[in-house]
Amino acid sequence: MGTEAVAARIVSRLNPEQARAVTTTEGPLLILAGAGSGKTRVLAHRVAYLVGVKGVRPWQILAVTFTNKAAAEMRSRILDLVGEGGREVAMGTFHSLCARVLRRDGAALGIDPRFAIYDTDDQATVMKQVLRELDMAGTGEMRPAAVLG
C-alpha cells in the first residue's frame, strides 16, 4: 500500500479539524480540546501518520496524556493502527513518563531509583499510621486530612 493510500486510511474516519491536526507534521503540536472531543483519537492517528506516511521511527515519538485511562486508550489505538511497532513509541501519562526518566536517570541527582510515589489514599494511610505511632490519632485536630493540608 502506497503512502497516499495509508494516509487516506488513517484520516478517513476523522473530522476535518482532526485530520488537519493529524497531518500537520512540522514541529510540535499541542492539542487542547474538551472532554470527549477526540484528543486521544487525534494523538493515536497522528502517531500512525508519522510512522506510516512520514517514515518516523516509532522510538522517536513521545505521546503524552494526562490520565491513565487516556494513556491506556491511546496505547490500544496506536497498536491497532501501527501494529507491533507501536510498542516502541514512548507513551504514557506525564506522571508515568517522568517517573520512568527519574528511575532511569535520577541517580545523577541523588534520587534512589526505587522511590515510591504516593497518591492521595496512600498519603492518608501513611499519615494515619504515623499519627497512631505518635499516639496522636484520637486528638481531633490531628486528622490525616488536616495534617496533609
Q: Which of 71, 74, 73 is nearest to 46 (CA)?
A: 74
Question: Domain residues for 61?
Answer: 3-116
- pLDDT value at residue 137: 64
For the chain, the domain total comes to: 2
- Residue 17 to residues 11, 31, 45, 147, Cα–Cα distance (Å): 11, 11, 13, 47
Residues 107 and 127 in one domain: no
pLDDT of res. 138: 63
Q: What is the mean pLDDT of residues 122-145?
A: 78
Which residue has better confidence, 61 or 135?
61
Query: Which grid coordinates belong to 18?
Result: 482532526
Arithmetic mean of pLDDT, 127-133: 86
DSSP letter for each residue of 104-145: HHGGGGT--TT-----HHHHHHHHHHHHHHTT-TTSSS--HH
At 20-34, the pLDDT tens digits run: 999 998 888 788 888
CATH of the domain at 53: 3.40.50.300
**Between 77 and 32, the higher pLDDT residue:** 77
Q: What is the pLDDT of residue 141?
A: 60
